[in-house]
Amino acid sequence: MNNVSLHDVRAALGELGKFRFGAMRVEDALHEIVRTTHTMFGVDGAGLMLTDAEQHLRSVAASDGRLQHLEELQIEHAEGPCIAAFEEKQLVGVEDLEHDQRWPKFAAAAVSRQVRAVLASPLPYNQDAVGVVAVVSEQGRPWSAEGELALLAFTDLAALLIASMMQNQEKSELAVQLQGALDSRRIIEQAKGVLMGRHGIPARTAFEQLRAQARAERRKIAAICAEVVDSAVPRPDDLHTR
């Protein structure tokens, strides 16, 4: 990442801060945040992803086609730095995917598509993560502490815009998509809890089982989860036989 000074970050955030009170559509403001992030940080790509009803991270605003590669590869391999940031709710950075062992399947495919370094920051909403803001480089590079703080600051601004959008009575298409994702997550979390208690498995394994079943049966993951939750509710006949 280029040398990013705190003065540069304050100046950029001051300029972008007008979106919080302006008439610009949230979708357009998010694109502007991504564009500014790309330009100021001097990376090869910047983008913002939001989760969908299947809990896949989908690109909402991107400055470069590499972000599309990032989306596709993480969905295909069910692993990667953006997924890690989203699930762990913390900043995740990788300096060179060619030498990083955390996501082996994703890393090899990403390097072949000219994605080597990634820095991803989770996007908060109502004490949960609903997406990520990420920057990518086609060359291996260290991520400085100043750069990490800068990305967190841009993420916070995006989060304010998302929160404002969700509270607006006139729901945009993006808000409807995100609300669907939040509704889906509730039943997914319940189903994960059922499987964890039933089989003594960790949350990640439970989610992978649910997603694998949804793929195998070509059904929505929320429908699979609803059946799992329903199977854990005692029926009147079952109570009488005890």
CATH architecture of 6-167: 2-Layer Sandwich (3.30)
- Taking CB atoms within 8 Å and a gap of at least 24, the contacts of 101-105 are 103/77, 103/79, 105/77, 105/79
Q: Left, alpha or beta for 126 (phi > 0: left; psi -120 to 50: alpha)?
A: left
Helix (H, G, I), strand (E, B) or coil at 131: strand
Lowest-confidence segment of 63-67, 78-82, 117-121, 213-217 by average pLDDT: 63-67
pLDDT over 90 at 132, yes or no = yes
pLDDT surpasses 80 at 241? no
pLDDT of residue 14: 72
103 within 8 A of 79, measured Cβ to Cβ: yes
| Mean pLDDT in residue range 183-209 | 93
**Mean pLDDT for the stretch of residues 129-152:** 91
Structure confidence by residue, pLDDT tens digits, 46-63: 999 999 999 999 999 999
Q: What does CATH list as the number for 173-233?
A: 1.10.10.10
What are the domain boundaries of the chain?
6-167, 173-233
Q: What pLDDT shows up at residue 149?
A: 87
Tokens of 38: 């790309």
Are the beta carbons of 16 and 156 closer than 8 angstroms? Answer: no
Per-residue pLDDT tens over the stretch 87-125: 999 999 999 999 999 999 999 999 999 999 999 999 999
**37-46, 89-98, 133-142, 188-197: the lowest-pLDDT one:** 37-46
Tokens describing residue 155: 């993420």
**Which residues sit opposite 119 in a β-bridge?**
93, 135
The yes-or-no answer to whether 6-167 and 173-233 have a common fold is: no
- The torsion angles phi and psi of 78, rounded to 5 degrees, stand at 55, 35
pLDDT band for 239, please (50, 70, 90 cuts).
very low
In the chain, what percentage of residues exceed pLDDT 90?
Answer: 56
Q: Using CA atoms, how far apart are residues 61 and 171, in angstroms rounded to an integer?
A: 19
In angstroms, the first-to-last Cα distance of the chain is 64
* pLDDT bracket for residue 154 (50, 70, 90): confident
| pLDDT at residue 235 in the model | 63
Can you tell me the distance from the alpha carbon of 164 to that of 160, in angstroms, rounded to the nearest whole number? 6
For the stretch 2-40, pLDDT in tens is 566 666 777 777 767 666 656 678 888 888 889 888 887
Please state, in angstroms and rounded to a whole number, the distance separating the CA atoms of residues 41 and 215: 38
Q: For residue 240, is pLDDT > 70?
A: no
Q: Residue 4 has what DSSP assignment?
A: -
